[in-house]
Amino acid sequence: MSGSPAVVMRLVASAYTVAEKAGAIVRKVLHSGELGIVEKTGANDLQTLADRLAQQSICASLYRRFPKITIIGEEDLPAEEIKEDLIENGHSEEILQKTCPAEYSGLKEEELVVWVDPLDGTKEYTEASRLLHHPTGALTPHKGSDTSQLHSTALWLLDNVTVLIGIAYEGKAIAGVINQPFYNYQLGSGAELGRTMWGMPGLGAFGFTLKEAPGDRRIITTTRSHSNKVVTECVDAMEPHEVIKVGGAGNKIIQLVEGRASAYVFASLGCKKWDTCAPEAILTAVGGKLTDMHGNAYRYDANVKHMNSAGVLATLRNHEYYVSRVPQSVRQALKTD
């Protein structure tokens, strides 16, 4: 490679390190026990101090380096001076060494739209915190006790949490970074927590080992905290061998690419563009697909509606099968934009 790296590669390289910093903020707020929870539209739509700080950190850090990009973050925050210790100036040297796919090498800052979900799986994050900071002391569990059980549940919930930074060009998700702040929780105290995955269609996906779910089983991953009758009806229509209910859109895409699930099915509104942009880029980079329940692609232009009104259907393989199983009643309930 000659000359300076392509703008989009520099942006992904920065987003990688910025997502790591956001992940560290998410861990720190959890340990403080002071979550500062705010209800947005209701009890299942929450915002915490971690969502706020992580978004401020991500947006301010990226804008400092790339002043002309458009960033759309989940949280509505007042414009204010960001504390310097929230700024991340680093980047991943490894990403800068990669060759940018030719079609993206000439993209300009002002053509890129960045979709930021500072904390995906907020509901699970707050539930985990409640368990960990339970008066019976689940933070310091004794083996075999009830608190040990609470502790395990809390850690399992925390594994649902991710930080999502997606990059779009001409309405398409062309790069994505996912940080999973509590990855490796099974290794116990003292283990270094967190990992970062990233991907770009045409270049590949990194930070995990791609694995396909068993071809002879339909394992459906779906919502844990935003279910309703239509959601359940649609999962049942897939004739699943197994259903896994977990939190977070990022987390469910990780399950697809690591072979724990064959399809992510969410026949409801609720997920927004920042939930799906980064996951879609990584999934597409390994040959998968993310669409609405009709099999139509979502667009990520700066001016699109934020809500993914026609649901989310994502697979690594056999997308058409799952689209074909969506019941007529669901198709009618969820119209393509």
Active site residues per annotation: 51, 122
Query: Is residue 120 part of the contact set for ligand A2P (CB under 6 A)?
Result: yes
Report if residue 35 touches ligand A2P, rule: CB under 6 A: no
| Cβ contact 264:242 at 8 Å | no
Say which entry of ligand A2P, Mg ion, none residue 258 contacts (CB below 5 to 8 A, set by partner kind).
none
- The item of Mg ion, ligand A2P, none sharing an interface with residue 198, based on CB under 5 to 8 Å by kind, is none
Looking at beta carbons, which residue is closest to Mg ion?
Answer: 120
275 annotated among ligand-binding-site residues? yes
Please indicate if the annotation marks 120 as binding a ligand: yes
Residue 85 labeled ligand binder: no
- Which listed option, Mg ion, ligand A2P, none, makes contact with residue 270 (CB within 5 to 8 Å by class)? ligand A2P
Residue 259 DSSP SS3: coil
Residue 209-248 contact track with ligand A2P, rule CB under 6 A, x = bound: --------------xxxx--------------------xx
Question: 123 vs 49, 76, 185, 223, CA distance in Å?
Answer: 13, 17, 19, 11
Q: Which residue is nearest to ligand A2P (CB)?
A: 270
Helix (H, G, I), strand (E, B) or coil at 207: coil
Among 75, 275, 280, 292, binds ligand A2P (CB under 6 A): 275
Residue type for position 247? G
> Which of the ranges 26-34, 59-67, 117-125, 188-196 carries the binding residues for ligand A2P, by CB under 6 A?
117-125
Q: Where are the beta strands (DSSP E) in the chain?
A: 38-42, 45-47, 70-73, 112-120, 162-169, 172-180, 195-200, 204-206, 219-222, 242-245, 263-266, 289-291, 312-315
Contact 259, 288 (CB under 8 A): no
Residues of the binding site for Mg(2+) = 74, 117, 119-120, 275
